[in-house]
Amino acid sequence: MPTRRDTDTLSRAEEEALARAKRAVEGRTTPDGRGERTGRRKRGRGKAGSGKGRSTRTGVGTGKARARSGGRRPAPPARSASLDVLRGIGVVATVLLLAGTAPSSVPPWAEPSGWHGIAVADLVLPLFLLVAGASLAWADAGRAGLPAWRRTGRALRRVAVLVALGLALNWVAADGDLDRLRWSGLLQRVGLATFLGWLVARLPLTWRIATLGTLVAGWGLALERVAAPGVPAGTMRPEANLVAWLDTALLGPGHLVAPTDPLGLATLPLAAALVVAGRLLGDWLRGRPAGPATSAALAVLGGWLVVLGVIWAQLTPLNATLWTPPHLLFATGAVVLLAAVAYLAAEVLPTRRVVAPLERLGRNALVAYLLPAGLIALASRPAADGMSAWGRLVERFAAPVFGDLAWLVLAAALLAVTWSVVGRLDVRGWHLRA
């Protein structure tokens, strides 16, 4: 028979086994008794993974972000899906406009406004500028740990690359003739304006808002009150206005789109103002949780800006070429309304797959713009008989076969080529950025 001492020994062994099993269930050790070190390693794996390493008494694993932040909201993503969708919309609109350069029938909505007024085509550049500004909120957050000189170097490199690419496209379009080379262009405008907007974004919030208001209101006063040689104050005719006089003086008459270049240096500060506005919007979006309330707030903001633009247009003409304040307000509001729809589709409703093609174009927007623009620039160079390959394609094939829909067929072909290239790059994870 076992003695009392033997009975006590067995009881203590059973108690130790039960304690080890209980600690194993709670994640503190393993049933084989290898101690706290193994348990800590298991809990570490749980924290880095799905949250299963936390005590099973709660019954819920809270995940990586919640485990590290003590229950706070997860950090915002590195990119905004809705901004990529907006870029994709801008790329599609740009391809439609490029196809509209063919000598074929183009619907009025795809053409820029004549002088006063606004058309769908006049919203493309404001869209790219606002999205560029909003994207700075995510880009700067990702570079927060870099020294100031490296952040400045990257900003300068971006503007240099975009300006160089824009000038290269213009050089091809001018058939290598430097005397006819246009200095301005979409890429040049986006690059320079984004850099200026990035500089303003270094300022405190109050100064940023004050700078934005000063640029818009000050430009409106300049158009109304400032005279130039041969241009009385307040003159806003296509051949006589402050913008045309300034750009001709700065860049020379042979390097501009006559009579008034909408992408010249004179209106560059207004483009920078759109970038600053986009940055303010991006900071606000980045700090908001994804939900229908955010989309509704965007819609309300966009609607008010459109209304203010229409009201101001009763006093100052709404002119996209001169970048008048009513145009800035109206265009910004229209783009923000479009952003509300893109945000709802990409980040709130289960429709992200529907807008995935646009998002894919937006992730590689630079390639998606350069490819069709470069193809058309090459095809538009005149041959020995004076006709370009682009014109020959339209007159001998597209127009006789498709009639008034020739521009749409050309745009669809350009989009198909662009999307196939961009899609393959996206699958491989290659994204070209300045």
| Residue 284, in any domain of the structure | no
Instruction: Tell me the residue length of the chain.
Output: 434
On whether residue 351 sits in a domain, the answer given is no
Give residue 409's pLDDT. Answer: 87
pLDDT over threshold 70, residue 122: yes
- Percent over 70 (pLDDT), the chain: 79
Q: Where are the beta strands (DSSP E) in 187-312?
A: 236-237, 240-241
**239-109-393 Cα angle (round to 5):** 90
Say which range, 30-39, 116-125, 253-262, has the weakest mean pLDDT: 30-39
Tell me the per-residue pLDDT of 174-204, one tens digit each, with 9 for 90 and over: 888 888 889 999 999 999 999 999 999 999 9
> Residue 432: what pLDDT?
81
Residue 215's pLDDT is 95
Cis status, amide bond into 259, omega within 30 of 0: yes
pLDDT at residue 379, rounded to an integer: 86
Can you tell me the mean pLDDT for 76-84? 82
Q: What mean pLDDT is predicted for residues 328-339? A: 97
- Checking if the pLDDT of 47 tops 60, the result is no
Structural domains in the chain (count): 1
Question: What is the distance of C-alpha 397 from the center of its chain?
Answer: 36
Residue 233 and residue 222: Cα distance in Å, rounded? 8
What was the pLDDT predicted at 30?
45
Structural domain contains residue 59: yes
Q: Read off the tokens for 230.
A: 């041969």
Task: Say how many C-beta atoms besides its own lie within 10 A of residue 156's C-beta.
Answer: 12
Q: What are phi and psi of 236, to 5 degrees?
A: -135, 50
Q: Transcribe 20-78 into DSSP letters.
A: HHHHHHTTSS-TT---HHHHHHHHHHHHHTTSTTS-TTS----HHHHHHHTTPPPPPPS
Question: How far apart are the C-alpha atoms of 244 and 246, rounded to whole Å?
Answer: 6
Give residue 390's pLDDT band: very low, low, confident or very high (50, 70, 90). Answer: confident
Asked if the structure places residue 50 within a domain, the reply is yes
Query: For residues 109 and 119, is the Cβ–Cβ distance under 8 A?
Result: yes
Task: Say if 42 falls within a structural domain.
Answer: yes
Of 192 and 393, the structure prediction assigns the larger pLDDT to 192
DSSP reduced 3-state for 384: coil
User: Containing domain of residue 34, as a range?
Assistant: 27-69
- Please tell me the pTM assigned to this model: 0.80
What are 199-226's pLDDT values in tens digits? 999 999 999 999 999 999 999 999 999 9
- How far is it, in rounded angstroms, from Cα 252 to Cα 260? 12
Q: Is residue 207 part of a domain?
A: no
Q: Look up residue 11 and give its two tokens.
A: 């009881």
Q: From residue 215, how far is each of 86, 135, 221, 328, 387 by CA, in Å?
A: 25, 21, 10, 11, 44
Whether 336 is in a domain gets the answer no
Q: Is the dihedral of CA 291, 366, 124, 387 positive or negative?
A: negative
Confidence (pLDDT) at 306: 98
More confident: 99 or 336: 336
Give domain status of residue 367, yes or no.
Answer: no
Confidence of residue 391 (pLDDT cuts 50, 70, 90): confident
**pLDDT score at 2:** 47
Average the pLDDT over 78-105 and give the result.
84
Q: What is the pLDDT of residue 104?
A: 56
Q: What confidence category does residue 96 fall into, taking pLDDT thresholds of 50, 70 and 90?
A: confident
Q: What does the pLDDT read at residue 146? A: 85
241 or 252, greater pLDDT: 241
